[in-house]
Chain A
Amino acid sequence: MVRATGRAVVLVVLTVGLLASVGVAVTVGPADLSIGTVWLVVADHLGLARSDVPPLREHIVWDLRLPRVLGAAAVGAGLAAAGAVMQTVIRNPLADPYLLGVSSGASLGAVLVIVAGVGSGVVAVGGGAFVGALTAFAAVVAVAGRRAALAPTRVVLMGVAVAQLCAALTSFVIIWVGDPHATQSITFWLSGSLARAGWAELAWAAPVLVAVLGLVGWHARALDAFAFGEEAAATLGVDVIRVRWLLLVATALLTAVLVAMSGAIGFVGLIMPHAARLLTGPDHRRLLPVVALAGAIFLIWVDTAARTLFEPRELPVGVLTALLGVPAFVILLRRREVRG
């Protein structure tokens, strides 16, 4: 029973940590805000209390910072959980949510929308990214999923091929158009940023996030069964092909929604699962809640750093996650070598 308690304690600590992170991160930034102000604004909007916070500050809290912080939490949680699932289903510790070509497809979609002049608005670009992401994933599945089995090696190889193709097409379009304004907004988007995360994006992302996390959690024990490979999973009663399809499609959908909101933020989906496993071990019933919470907290703080470290300039958060992720990645590889 010691173990069950330990597990509950970790979850409570992380949940409190997440709530506190949201509350504190919202106060950080050029305009000085106190936790009290944040609380008053939130309470007012939820109809719990009347606030007399000045409209400008209320605007900063409610329309700018809070959706951005929640966006960071959603993207961090989603990418981390998606990465954990991918690593298990593809049976590759170096798998991440972008392995299926989703992020490069999203970039291409966004770029096409921008240069086609459909609009550079958040909705149009996000929509283009979402469609691009799903198209790339569909292309991967169409080729790799022949005979319906989605064999991991084929999926990985096809994912790499589609990603390369999309990246090449994206570069081609950027150079062909040569519009410096478009190039700038695309670059920002390619490196990942939460600057555009607003309530509208959250309204899309949150339900998908909740649904996919629920689905993945429901299959936690089936994911455990993959420990010794898919044949072993099958002999433990798991319908391997069905579970693989379901979870790959669900994580691709989630990744597409997140990428449409934030661009491709690298390394969160690769590193967080390994970090969380150090804490929980490989059992998915323990790992999945922890990895999602830890991913959310991690990205909240990295994004807060990205927008405040070099004020008034903002660093794309993807640049910062890469700066943190690469050393973590090297450490990870060394650990693996040591273990043999």
Chain B
Amino acid sequence: MLDVSGVSWAVPAARILDRVTCTAPAGSLVGLLGPNGSGKTTLLRVVAGLLRPTSGQVTIDGDAVARLRRLAVARRIALLAQHAETDLDLTVLDVVLLGRIPHQRSRWSDSDTERARAVEVLAHVDLTGFEHRKWQTLSGGERQRVQLARALAQEPELLLLDEPTNHLDIGHQLQLLHLVRRAGITTLAALHDLNLAAMFCDTVVVLDAGRVVAAGAPEQVLTPALLADVFGVEAEVGTHDGRTVIHYRPPAA
């Protein structure tokens, strides 16, 4: 259970997050929506303990993240960052085993249990047999799934995803969110695609200029008025097979 209450984060020139409050009940998938620059990444970084809120607080199962040690945070919260790049010649197994670092007892070697765990999470993201493939040779979708496996190997209570479906084709977008759902871990995910958010999220939180402008079930939040207001688009919102569906209209000439 994640609880963000009254969190602000400011740089001298501007207040990037303004008294953000939201929650993610245990086991739920919460979508974090908002236009570019609205503060999604910043909020995820605050929740991950990478930034210290100027005011307000983030708690995970009642413990204030800002008061936990780095290692304790790493054992409980995993972040899938927007960009994951490396120059190194890592194998898929190397990458997934990075997720074991916060739990590792031995400094010198990976135990058999840890390797087994890595193989298990690779199976979860449908990458069985990829252990010895080189990271540099993977496609974007495979890399994203490997990073998800790394995050799952961390055995977190809370999963933070920053635009996890970026650069993926539609099939892989659906697959990735499906895998996240299947993992059953409390998740806060910054998403761009509102239809995907409506399809997979239990609740959504909409940020605009660092403030929460709406929060709740997707079908209640994603109204034409809100879409016009926050994203500046004209759209119709309907339901199809019991799912919320958004149809965008081209901008008026």
Contact = CB atoms under 8 A, between A and B. Distances in A.
B70 interface: yes
A233 to B, nearest CB: 9
A224 B98 CA distance: 7
A102 to B, nearest CB: 24
Interface string B144-188: 000000000010000000000000000000000000000000000
A282 B101 contact: no
A228 B84 contact: yes
Interface in B56-111: 70-75, 77-79, 81, 84-91, 94-95, 98-99, 101-102, 104, 107-109
A231 B102 contact: no
A275 to B, nearest CB: 13
Given A231-B81, A235-B77, A237-B102, A282 B71 contact: no
Contacts of A281: 89-91, 94
Contacts of B75: 237
Contact of A231 (B50, B71, B95, B109): B50
Nearest to A88: B88
A313 interface: no
Band of interface residues on A: 20 to 34
B160 to A, nearest CB: 9
Contacts of B95: 227
Residue of B71, B73, B78, B86 with most chain A CB atoms under a 10 A cut-off = B86
A311 interface: no
B220 interface: no
A228 B101 contact: no
A221 interface: yes
A277 interface: yes
Contacts of B94: 227, 281-283
B98 A234 contact: no
A4 interface: yes
B98 A236 contact: yes
B98 A235 contact: no
Nearest to A340: B136
Contacts of B101: 221-222, 224-225, 236-238
Instruction: Give the most central of B98, B99, B104, B109: most A CB within 10 Å.
Output: B98
B71 A4 contact: no
B197 interface: no
A225 B81 contact: no
B229 to A, nearest CB: 32
Contact of B88 (A220, A222, A227, A239): A227
A3 B91 CA distance: 14
A218 B48 CA distance: 26
B71 to A, nearest CB: 4
Given A237-B102, A281-B94, A228 B73 contact: no
B48 A235 contact: yes
A146 interface: no
A339 B84 CA distance: 17
Given A237-B102, A238-B70, A339-B136, A218 B107 contact: yes
Given A221-B101, A237-B70, A237-B102, A282 B90 contact: yes
Interface string B178-217: 0000000000000000000000000000000000000000
B85 A228 contact: yes
A329 to B, nearest CB: 16
A236 B75 CA distance: 8
B70 A234 contact: yes
Interface string A204-236: 000000000000001011101101110110111
Nearest to A91: B87
A93 B78 CA distance: 27
Given A93-B87, A228-B84, A285-B109, A237 B73 contact: yes
Contacts of B86: 227-229
A235 B50 contact: yes
A235 B84 contact: no
B84 A239 contact: no
14 contacts: A4-B109, A93-B87, A221-B101, A224-B101, A227-B98, A228-B81, A232-B98, A234-B50, A234-B70, A236-B101, A277-B89, A282-B90, A285-B108, A336-B87
Interface of A: 4, 93, 218, 220-222, 224-225, 227-229, 231-232, 234-239, 277, 281-283, 285, 336, 339
Given A227-B88, A282-B89, 16 more contacts: A221-B101, A225-B101, A228-B85, A231-B45, A231-B50, A232-B81, A235-B48, A235-B50, A235-B73, A235-B78, A237-B70, A237-B71, A237-B75, A237-B102, A281-B89, A281-B91
Closest 6 CB pairs of A and B: A237-B74, A237-B71, A237-B102, A282-B88, A235-B79, A236-B101
